[in-house]
């Protein structure tokens, strides 16, 4: 997927979603001397993704100059044979004309997305892949009270386990023991999982210690 970023327009807010970039993506940042700096975390995540990365700096300031740069590059990309989705990251409504042209007027139609961030453009592309599902899951609304109740319960459980295994050889593995409890639906399942994870001797020690806890 191509991401053409009007950085002068969206600035750092438009870079939200760089952590979801893949090595098959193409990121092109259009910027000017007026807005030359980006938060390092976004640049590092672009680099880490392995995607194709380019920048295009405005040569001479003119009205809507970067918009023309982006429109020209879009034509180059599709004219070069690319057939996939392309996102323009901008809040400029003028780009909607480009989207309409490639959807309705071009001899070969293409999907052009106009979004205010990388993350939103991936969602709008709506590809049935893992990163789309991951973003949807992370953006899903969650009841704050229910979340906090589960959080408080987890903290309480971790404290109990820290106390129960303090001074033992298993004190550094309470995170694994907590996971064992959360995954185990019955004492038998917990017992068998303890043996699998920790071996027979330590697994029995884990199980017997858990049995002594009031909430087991």
pLDDT by 10s per residue, the chain, length 216: 999 999 999 999 999 999 999 999 999 999 999 999 999 999 999 999 999 999 999 999 888 899 999 999 999 999 999 999 999 999 999 999 999 999 999 888 899 999 999 999 999 998 999 999 999 998 888 889 998 998 998 898 889 899 889 988 888 999 889 888 888 878 889 999 999 999 999 999 899 988 887 555
In 43-153, where do the E strands start and end? Answer: 52-57, 86-89, 112-115
Of 89, 87, 91, 113, the closest CA to residue 100 belongs to 113
In 26-170, where do the E strands start and end? Answer: 26-31, 52-57, 86-89, 112-115
Measured distance CA(49)–CA(38) in Å, rounded: 17
pLDDT digits (tens, 9 = 90+) for 79-112: 999 999 999 999 999 999 999 999 999 888 899 9
pTM: 0.74
């Amino acid at each position: 997927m191509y991401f053409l970023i009007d950085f002068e327009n969206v600035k750092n807010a438009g870079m939200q979603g760089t952590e979801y970039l893949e090595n098959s993506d193409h990121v092109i940042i259009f910027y000017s001397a007026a807005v030359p700096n980006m938060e390092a975390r976004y640049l590092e995540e672009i680099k880490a993704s392995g995607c194709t990365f380019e920048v295009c700096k405005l040569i001479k300031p003119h009205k809507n100059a970067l918009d023309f740069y982006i429109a020209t590059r879009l034509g180059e990309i599709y004219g070069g044979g690319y057939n996939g989705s392309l996102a323009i990251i901008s809040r400029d409504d003028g780009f909607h004309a480009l989207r309409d042209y490639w959807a309705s007027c071009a001899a070969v139609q293409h999907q052009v997305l106009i979004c205010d961030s990388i993350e939103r453009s991936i969602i709008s592309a709506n590809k049935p892949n893992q990163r789309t599902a991951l973003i949807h899951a992370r953006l899903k609304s969650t009841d704050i009270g229910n979340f906090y109740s589960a959080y408080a319960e987890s903290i309480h459980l971790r404290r109990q386990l820290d106390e129960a295994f303090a001074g033992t050889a298993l004190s550094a593995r309470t995170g694994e023991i907590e996971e064992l409890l959360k995954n185990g639906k019955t004492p038998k399942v917990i017992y068998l999982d303890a043996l699998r994870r920790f071996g027979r001797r330590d697994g029995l020690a884990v199980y017997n210690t858990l049995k002594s806890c009031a909430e087991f």
